[in-house]
């Protein structure tokens, strides 16, 4: 059985403390058997919470079954050829480079 993670210990401990205080305050138990029952119930609840905290998923397959490398396609650049303009002031504006919006 793997060791508990920090998250499991934290959630379980917090559950035991909070549920013990809440049950003692709500039940107003003063007898030792009543306090013992509440303490055992709180420990059981804390254990349940600690075991249901999601564990980190282990790596699949190890080094032998490595995932294939993904190839990223570079952004395509489209060059628009300049259009001959009648007005020389428009000639500079007609030659442009358009780049698609990328990530």
pLDDT of res. 5: 85
Judged against a pLDDT cut of 70, whether residue 97 lies above it is answered with: no
Which ranges of the chain would DSSP assign to H, the alpha helix? 6-27, 32-52, 88-94
- Render pLDDT for 34-90 as a digit per residue (tens, 0 to 9): 999 999 999 999 999 888 877 667 777 655 555 556 666 666 777 777 766 676 555
Closest CA to 78 of 94, 103, 102, 96: 96
pLDDT of res. 8: 87
Answer with the residue of higher pLDDT: 16 or 54.
Answer: 16
Judged against a pLDDT cut of 60, whether residue 93 lies above it is answered with: no
CA angle 57, 63, 65 (to 5 degrees): 80
């Amino acid at each position: 059985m793997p060791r508990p993670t920090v998250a499991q210990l934290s959630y379980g401990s917090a559950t035991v403390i909070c549920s013990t205080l809440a049950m003692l305050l709500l039940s107003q138990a003063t007898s030792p058997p009543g306090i013992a029952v509440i303490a055992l119930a709180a420990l059981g609840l804390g254990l349940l919470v600690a075991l249901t905290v999601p564990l980190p998923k282990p790596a699949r397959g190890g080094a032998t079954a490595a995932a294939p490398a993904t190839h990223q396609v570079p952004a395509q650049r489209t060059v628009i050829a300049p259009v001959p303009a009648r007005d020389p002031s428009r000639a500079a504006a007609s030659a442009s480079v358009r780049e698609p919006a990328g990530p």
